[in-house]
Amino acid sequence: MRELDLAFIQSAEHRAKLDSAVAEGIPLIDLSPLNQSHGTCNSHALEVLVGQIGDACRDWGFFQVINHGIPTDLLHGIQTSAKKFFDLPLEEKRKVSRDEVNPLGYYDTEHTKNVRDWKEVFDFTVKDPTFNPASHELGYDELQELRNQWPQYPPELREICEEYAGEMEKLSYKLLELIALSLGLPAERFSDYFENDTSFVRLNHYPPCPSPELALGVGRHKDSGALTVLSQDDVGGLEVRRKDGEWTKVKPIPDSYIINVGDIIQVWSNGRYKSIEHRVKANSARERFSIPFFFNPAHHVMVKPMEELIDEQSPAKYREYNWGKFFKTRKLSDFKKLDVENIQIHHFKISN
Contacts 24+ apart (CB under 8 A), 92-98: 92/151, 92/153, 93/120, 93/122, 93/151, 95/151, 96/122, 96/149, 96/150, 96/151, 98/123, 98/149
Region 274-302: mean pLDDT is 90
Q: Let me know: does 292 contact 204? Beta carbons within 8 Å.
A: yes
Instruction: Kindly indicate the confidence band of residue 125, based on its pLDDT and cuts at 50, 70 and 90.
Output: very high
Q: What is the pLDDT of residue 244?
A: 85
Q: What is the pTM of this model?
A: 0.86
* Domains of the chain, CATH where assigned: 72-348 (2.60.120.330)
Q: What is the pLDDT of residue 24?
A: 55
The count of C-alpha atoms lying within 13 angstroms of the C-alpha of 18, restricted to the half-sphere facing its C-beta, is: 21
Q: What is the pLDDT of residue 345?
A: 74
Q: Report the distance separating Cα 53 and Cα 34, nearest Å.
A: 13
Q: Report the distance separating Cα 155 and Cα 39, nearest Å.
A: 41
For the chain, give the mean pLDDT.
Answer: 84
Region 71-100: mean pLDDT is 94
In this predicted structure, the answer to whether residue 15 has a pLDDT above a threshold of 50 is no
CA angle 102, 107, 113 (to 5 degrees): 90
Q: What is the pLDDT of residue 134?
A: 64
Instruction: Kindly indicate the confidence band of residue 213, based on its pLDDT and cuts at 50, 70 and 90.
Output: low
Instruction: Kindly indicate the confidence band of residue 183, based on its pLDDT and cuts at 50, 70 and 90.
Output: very high
Instruction: Kindly indicate the confidence band of residue 20, based on its pLDDT and cuts at 50, 70 and 90.
Output: very low
In this predicted structure, the answer to whether residue 140 has a pLDDT above a threshold of 80 is no
- Give the CA-trace dihedral at 42, 45, 50, 55, to 10 degrees: 160
In this predicted structure, the answer to whether residue 329 has a pLDDT above a threshold of 80 is no
Least confident range from 112-116, 128-132, 270-274: namely: 112-116
Q: What is the pLDDT of residue 333?
A: 57
In this predicted structure, the answer to whether residue 346 has a pLDDT above a threshold of 70 is yes
Q: Let me know: does 343 contact 330? Beta carbons within 8 Å.
A: yes
In this predicted structure, the answer to whether residue 316 has a pLDDT above a threshold of 90 is yes
